[in-house]
Structure 1
Amino acid sequence: MGLSKTLPKLSLCMIVKDEESVIEDCLKSVQGVVDQIVVVDTGSRDSTVEICKRYGAEVYYYRWRDDFSAARNESIKYARGDWILWMDADERLDPGSVEKLKRLLTFERKPMAYKVLIKNIKPDGSYYFSDAHRLFRNGVGIFFTGIIHEQVAPSVLSLGGEIRDTDIVISHMGYSYTGSKERRKKERNRKLLLKYVDREPRNAYAHYTLGQFYALDGDHHKALEHYLIAYRLDQFDKSLTGSLLNVIAESYTEVGEYKKAKEFAVKSMRLCPDQVGCYYLLYKINNREGKYSRCLEYLSKMLEKIPLIESGRKSISTDVVVDEIKVLYTRILCGVKAGELEGVRNDVVKILEKKEVPLPLLESLMRVSFDVRAYDLAIRVLERLYSLSGEKKYLEMMGITYIKMENFGKALEVYRKLFEMEPNNIEYVKKLAGLCGKLGDMESASRYAKLL
């Protein structure tokens, strides 16, 4: 790819090894955006290199040295663009971010990096947002540091440069890996993180990332050991400190130390109130303690903050994205336990007003409505279930519910419909005869009775 100087140019720099299953989608996502693709291969044995070359990549070979920064710095040596974008093979540039990215490319010469949103996709399809400095100015001395979870921000700041926020989104699929590839990645990361902390024992970020590794592995006591070292070192900006406070609270929750968990979650809330994570943690802690009225308070705060996170306006480094309907349903369950039945009714209605509600959730709403004897709501849920599934069992339940409500006219309408569907069903005939009698229509009652 030749680089003319009419407009600022962008180089994509990557390090890869055996990524044939994911690399093509990554390269497709940046077509028409990048002017140069630099790929440093650290020992692929599959078709990764061939795929990269098909997309016009310049491929260089590098012996892996257990140091991500060294490999990243090798890749940016070959970048000729005014700006460098760095990505992993299991990432994709969001289509809605293409034009936004192009607009950021200027001829400014000062050291500068842009923070983008990383949309981390989990195996179940849910996701959470983190951030990373993925776009930076070339040719001004910026470089990577850290043997794992490498960063450019420290070098930008040491050069007196500037870090800016963006709402550019890169989707990360790596948390969806399973099997042997995931096991190899996990063992590699464990060794590198231990080496990172051993080399730089007073580096808060090294301890933070090792703590995250232990937490993901389920060892929250070890996670806390390193999280608390990072906290005492006090080297993070406000955004990352908020995330650190949350993970400390989460690990304290998992080891059953709820008082300390609340302490750190509240610190996070006071430092960065416009987030979801701290309120989720406070809900989780209070739920475990059986304090359901407090749960309602924090679930309501989550609902208030969700739109901020979904729009990319997050105030902490890593924040959760929670489906609004799931939060509403959780608030319904807590409302039942807390005896706040008016709130339960309101939340059921809010969910029913949504265009798309999964059938299993509607089934759950139906059960809740019956449990709290909100038969009018149960009817609305059953109508939705029947319209979506066409299953007559929901019509039958509607008929029974109308009878419980002593709305015999509506019950009669339902059972007439059922009778049309299944005229030989004796139970339907019995119900029709009885309902006609209840309504004083003895002629119809007699006619149905003769069918028995």
Structure 2
Amino acid sequence: MSEAPKISLCMIVKNEEECLHKCLESVKDLVDEMIIVDTGSTDKTVEICKSFGAVVHSYEWQDNFAEARNFGLEKATGDWILWMDADEEMNQEDSTKLKELLRGQEDSLFYIHLINYIGDDINEDDAFHIAHSRLFRNGIGFRFHFPIHETLNVEEVLPNLTEDLHIQILPVRIYHYGYMNEFTGRKNKFERNIQLLMKELEKENHSPWIEYHLASEFSRIQEHEKTFKFVNLSIIGFLENHMMPPSLLYKLKYSTLISIGSAEGAWPGIEKAIEIYPDYVDLHLYKGIIQYLKKDYNRALMTFDHCLELGESNIRHLTLRGSGSFHAWYYKGLCYEGLGQVEEAVAAYQSALAMAGNHAPAKEALEKLSAMTEVSHTPNNK
């Protein structure tokens, strides 16, 4: 049997004392070394790192996340590098399998299942799922680029990799809490990110990812007009560079149009997006919602049925939990109501709740229908 590979955890941190312990605890039995780059903590961050046996390197912050991460990569001695953020946590049951999964592997890069939580509380029904490149072989040229929302230089190291399907997704989950309100408010992420992104935007020949990340930031604070402006600029930028716009750009574009109630503006563009990414269930869900808003209930029902057929296990796209299950059933209920088919609507809402018992919109819709049914069966007082 081949020797177990050595894994280096690489992280950058600053004032992470409130969440760091949970992160390091989740991987302490997996990794062989922890390489932590501290960019100026004034709390107990460094002390917590050292309590786990981490090697902490001080680094002068240069307004560039990629450079800070690359500094850490240079210090790593493992065969493999796992990179994480302090506001993340690996599923401990999954972590026990990871080293065995890597034994004897010939690939150089792996995706890991990233689960992003949003809002005030951890709610599995509101989480977004995506496969993310978090584990790569050390010493073959992988580096981060972009000063913010840093990304691995996969195309440079693996130039023959033309399809995501060539990258294996390991059955390992990482939970990301950084988009929850508690974190975004406390760390003033929005102001910092906008400042760095606008600085990048001024550079000639900048990546169209910059416009996308700007759109994402504005989306989080529900500035829909700016979101729509920048996501469109990003799509144009990719096309002008003869690159296919990634699927999550279309997800953001059409979710924004739905948020502002612009069904007409979203049609027929959503059809073209689906032609490009026919396996992306979220786009089909948005198509059904747009059809529902246009009162095209019968076609919308067929679209939601297709969502149920697709399911939501394809995490190569950023996928909202429920897009291929309870959200589709909920919208089927709304369509049946629009058609005056009350019994079918009740059954659809019940199906949604069977999959997600705390889905408030389905609960409210079912209660409303129940109340209406009771009133209609009450004898008139004379």
- TM bucket, shorter chain: 0.7 to 0.9
CA distance in 2, matches of 1:216, 1:155: 29
Deviation at 1:8, TM superposition (A): 1.2
| Alignment partner, residue 269 of structure 2 | 264
CA distance in 1, matches of 2:51, 2:152: 29
Deviation at 1:261, TM superposition (A): 1.5
CA distance in 1, matches of 2:359, 2:157: 51
- Which sits farther off after the overlay, 10-19 or 229-238? 229-238
Q: Could you tell me whether the CA contact under 8 Å between 2:327 and 2:352 is conserved in 1?
A: no
* Post-superposition CA distance 1:242-271 (Å, at most 9, x none): 221222223334455433423332223222
Q: Does 1:77 align with 2:80?
A: no
Q: For residue 279 of structure 2, what is the amino acid of its counterpart?
A: D
Q: Does 1:347 align with 2:358?
A: no
Decide which of 224, 230, 244 is 2:234's aligned counterpart: 230
- Which sits farther off after the overlay, 325-334 or 39-48? 325-334
CA spacing shift, 1:229–1:297, aligned 2, 3 Å: same
| Alignment partner, residue 102 of structure 1 | 99
Q: Could you tell me whether the CA contact under 8 Å between 1:119 and 1:172 is conserved in 2?
A: yes
Q: Does 1:55 align with 2:42?
A: no
Q: Does 1:173 align with 2:177?
A: yes
CA spacing shift, 1:200–1:332, aligned 2, 3 Å: same
Deviation at 1:282, TM superposition (A): 2.0
Report the 3-state secondary structure (helix = DSSP H, G, I; strand = E; otherwise coil) of the residue aligned with 1:175. Answer: coil
Q: Could you tell me whether the CA contact under 8 Å between 2:142 and 2:157 is conserved in 1?
A: no
- Which sits farther off after the overlay, 39-48 or 167-176? 167-176
* Post-superposition CA distance 1:116-139 (Å, at most 9, x none): 221001124221113321111101
CA distance in 1, matches of 2:279, 2:330: 22
- Structure 2 residues without counterparts, runs of 5 or longer: none
| Alignment partner, residue 114 of structure 2 | 118
Written as runs of structure 1 = structure 2, the 5 A alignment for 1:294-443 is 294-306=299-311, 308-309=312-313, 313-316=314-317, 318-322=318-322, 324-325=325-326, 327-347=328-348, 350=351, 354=354, 357-358=357-358, 364-372=365-373
Instruction: Using structure 1 for the length normalisation, give the TM-score.
Output: 0.72
- Structure 1 residues without counterparts, runs of 5 or longer: 376-400, 405-452
Report the 3-state secondary structure (helix = DSSP H, G, I; strand = E; otherwise coil) of the residue aligned with 1:169. Answer: strand
Decide which of 195, 198, 203 is 1:199's aligned counterpart: 203
| Alignment partner, residue 292 of structure 1 | 297
Decide which of 220, 225, 231 is 1:221's aligned counterpart: 225
CA spacing shift, 1:155–1:73, aligned 2, 3 Å: farther
Q: Could you tell me whether the CA contact under 8 Å between 2:140 and 2:157 is conserved in 1?
A: no
| Alignment partner, residue 191 of structure 2 | 187
Q: Could you tell me whether the CA contact under 8 Å between 2:285 and 2:328 is conserved in 1?
A: no
Q: For residue 168 of structure 1, what is the amino acid of its counterpart?
A: V
Q: For residue 209 of structure 1, what is the amino acid of its counterpart?
A: H
CA spacing shift, 1:156–1:83, aligned 2, 3 Å: farther
Q: For residue 180 of structure 2, what is the amino acid of its counterpart?
A: S
| Alignment partner, residue 436 of structure 1 | none
Deviation at 1:38, TM superposition (A): 0.6
* Post-superposition CA distance 1:272-306 (Å, at most 9, x none): 22232112222332343344334433333333333
CA distance in 2, matches of 1:259, 1:82: 53
Deviation at 1:350, TM superposition (A): 3.8
Instruction: Using structure 2 for the length normalisation, give the TM-score.
Output: 0.83
Q: Does 1:280 align with 2:276?
A: no
| Alignment partner, residue 84 of structure 2 | 87
Q: Could you tell me whether the CA contact under 8 Å between 1:109 and 1:140 is conserved in 2?
A: no
- Which sits farther off after the overlay, 283-292 or 365-374? 365-374
Instruction: Give the length in aligned residue pairs.
Output: 366
CA distance in 1, matches of 2:67, 2:56: 17
- Which sits farther off after the overlay, 163-172 or 326-335? 326-335
Q: For residue 264 of structure 2, what is the amino acid of its counterpart?
A: K
CA distance in 1, matches of 2:268, 2:369: 34
Q: Could you tell me whether the CA contact under 8 Å between 1:274 and 1:315 is conserved in 2?
A: no
Deviation at 1:346, TM superposition (A): 3.6
Q: Which structure has the larger Rg over C-alpha atoms?
A: 1
Decide which of 233, 247, 254 is 1:249's aligned counterpart: 254
- Which sits farther off after the overlay, 32-41 or 360-369? 360-369
* Post-superposition CA distance 1:192-244 (Å, at most 9, x none): 11122222544122222122222223333333333223222336976x62221
CA distance in 2, matches of 1:15, 1:60: 9
CA spacing shift, 1:273–1:214, aligned 2, 3 Å: same
CA spacing shift, 1:78–1:374, aligned 2, 3 Å: farther
CA distance in 2, matches of 1:127, 1:88: 18
CA distance in 2, matches of 1:183, 1:54: 24
CA distance in 2, matches of 1:181, 1:345: 39
Q: Could you tell me whether the CA contact under 8 Å between 2:110 and 2:135 is conserved in 1?
A: yes
Percent of counterpart pairs with the same letter? Answer: 29
CA distance in 2, matches of 1:210, 1:344: 39
